[in-house]
Structure 1
Amino acid sequence: MKFFAKAALVCALSFIGLQASAFEATEGKDYRIVSPTVDSPRDTIEVVDFFAYTCAHCQRLAPMLQDWAKTLPPDVTIKRVPVAWEPATQFLSQIYYTFEALDRLDDLHPAFWQDILDGQITSQADLQNWLEKHKVDLTQWNNAYNSFAVTMHTQQALQTWQNYRLDATPYVAVAGKYLTAPHMAGSRQKTIEVLNWLIEQERQQRQKH
């Protein structure tokens, strides 16, 4: 069984490699080099999805990235990093990590995102009513929101997007070396093609060392 599982993995990686090789991304157009590079895990090819709750373009890209993430081979991991451009909106990143701490990302994250963009949440009172509507215990919410872990994750998110020197969202990073986005690649679908190509480039570089 282990032999067949390993063979299936090799076939999957080969297929993805063939897909990537059929497409050639152009530096400066489809993607850009991150300089200086940002620290990234060496035991996996890390993809970072930078988004903002105030960004409708990010929301439209999100379902496509979510579907794409389900097809990734074992040597690739993806994580979301919320971006808040100013201190006044930093609480939005903190809300994202509170959803995560409460294990409610799947249902609360997309609903909150839509309602923020629709202008339904504009005050603390609106947020409290929204949480009650979605059956969130307010005591648990406040404990998680103010916890050390959520505060730390929020600060790390701020540092991460600043390390990449982002000037807009959405952006997607690969291995701390590359950035691509729909406004660079030309479309959301093309962004996925660029990501596959960049991942394959990184995979080949690592195999040489």
Structure 2
Amino acid sequence: MAFNAVEGKDYRVVSPSVSSPSDSIEVIDFFAYTCAHCQRLAPLLEDWMKKLPADVSVRRVPVAWEPATQFLSRIYYTFEALDRLEDLHPAFWQDILGGIITSEADLQSWLQSHKVNLNEWNAAYNSFTVTMKTQQALQTWQNYRLDATPYVAVAGKYLTAPHMAGSRQKTIEVLDWLVRHERQARQKH
């Protein structure tokens, strides 16, 4: 029997909906570097994202719950600006949760150990682009009125998470269902 996600249990409707691209079904992975649950969901999401059809776009949005952790969002976008997201993001996440990086000095040492040029790092970290993306991330997760992570949004209309779906694996099933549901709704219009 085909799986059918249940509104209010497996996912919730975002009201009012959040602006989303009309030319694709946008999936947003909301995560926090301080969230071990997010880190455990990440490999499943990565595998799922690799198999998505062309009409689905994906982006990650780092969540910083307070000004004191805003620098973590900047770090994510700095990895992106340096084109080092693929190798630095998972390693940084592991080490921040593991307590290896607890200060600015630790971060500088960590960056050097990962062969990051500190001048390039500082230029990217303080750049207009990274500043704007960090501010946009804050606005995006606030628009969805998030109060926890991880969450995954679909098409600006739906949110799901392991605590709603019941497990990380079931979250992937709910995401598949939401993407299909949104695709069918768009085909009717």
TM-score range, shorter chain: over 0.9
**Cα offset, 1:118, TM superposition:** 0.5
* Partners of 2:161 and 2:119 in 1: CA distance: 39
- Aligned partner of 1:61 in structure 2 is 41
- SS in structure 2 at match of 1:81: strand
- Aligned partner of 1:33 in structure 2 is 13
Structure 1 residue runs of 5 or longer lacking an equivalent are: 1-20
1:23 aligned to 2:3? yes
**Cα offset, 1:34, TM superposition:** 0.2
* Partners of 1:142 and 1:124 in 2: CA distance: 12
- Aligned partner of 1:155 in structure 2 is 135
Structure 2 residue runs of 5 or longer lacking an equivalent are: none
- SS in structure 1 at match of 2:28: strand
1:113 aligned to 2:99? no
1:153-195 CA distance string (max 9 Å, x none): 0000000000000000000000000000000000011000000
Counterpart residue type for residue 37 of structure 1: S
- Aligned partner of 2:183 in structure 1 is 203
* Partners of 2:21 and 2:60 in 1: CA distance: 15
1:71 aligned to 2:58? no
* Partners of 2:112 and 2:90 in 1: CA distance: 16
Counterpart residue type for residue 95 of structure 2: D
1:101 aligned to 2:81? yes
How many residues are paired up? 189
- SS in structure 2 at match of 1:24: coil
Counterpart of 1:125 (choices 105, 108, 124) is: 105
- Aligned partner of 1:9 in structure 2 is none
**Cα offset, 1:22, TM superposition:** 1.1
1:39-74 CA distance string (max 9 Å, x none): 000000000000000000000000100000111001
1:190 aligned to 2:134? no
1:80 aligned to 2:55? no
**Cα offset, 1:111, TM superposition:** 0.4
* Partners of 1:206 and 1:32 in 2: CA distance: 19
* Partners of 1:50 and 1:121 in 2: CA distance: 22
* Partners of 2:166 and 2:120 in 1: CA distance: 43
Question: Over the residues paired in the alignment, what is the CA RMSD in angstroms?
Answer: 0.7
* Partners of 1:149 and 1:204 in 2: CA distance: 36
Task: State TM-score, norm by structure 2.
Answer: 0.99
* Partners of 1:104 and 1:66 in 2: CA distance: 16
1:44 aligned to 2:20? no
- SS in structure 1 at match of 2:159: strand
- Deviating 4+ runs (over 2 angstroms): none
1:172 aligned to 2:157? no
* Partners of 2:2 and 2:53 in 1: CA distance: 18
* Partners of 2:102 and 2:169 in 1: CA distance: 33
* Partners of 2:173 and 2:107 in 1: CA distance: 38
Q: Higher Cα Rg: structure 1 or 2?
A: 1
Task: State TM-score, norm by structure 1.
Answer: 0.90
